[in-house]
Amino acid sequence: MDKLFKKRKINILDFVEYELWLEDLQLKGWKLAEIKNKTHIFTKDISKKVRYCLDYCEDYVDRPSKYYEKVYSDFGWELVYRNKNIFLWKKEYEEERPNAFNNIEEIERRNKEFIKASKPMLAACILLLVITTANYMPRFFVAYDIKNMIFMFAWYMLAMTKVIPIIKNYKYYFKNKGLIDKNL
């Protein structure tokens, strides 16, 4: 049996492009068989039209995830993957691409909350970079102190490991903002 391994991180803010990527591979005859961490394992299959839906379900008191799963399965959706509150559903179709139960207003609200929650971390990291540069750069150039340079480099790496994912999320947010209406 032919297998195809692709690495791709599942990011709820990048759901439109992710869904289209899975649907395109299915049209090319690669069926999603399993997801392990970032590795997507596909098996060779016939070309089919399959709608994928990446969704986020918060465990509200009035909407527990068991009820949520039942609604999707009652309407013919098959659960492909679940990780905590992130669900990946699929449904085969012939003619018209089926709509999921995603509420566009809810998706936009959720995405805004993700972005809003990341703003303090982004501000703190940028402040850390500015303070580190202002404090240690003059010392390095005056005394050529390698200890200060190593310390400054360590702070930069710490800040950058937090800043880069946040910047990627902002990129996904603004890129998908216009795609939501076209593809849902």
Domain boundaries, the chain: 3-92, 104-181
pLDDT, average across residues 8-33: 87
pLDDT, average across residues 125-132: 80
**pLDDT mean across residues, the chain:** 79
Range with lowest mean pLDDT among 51-55, 67-71, 87-91? 67-71
Q: Amino acid letter at 41? A: I
CA-nearest of 94, 38, 43, 85 to 65 is 85
pLDDT, average across residues 103-121: 76
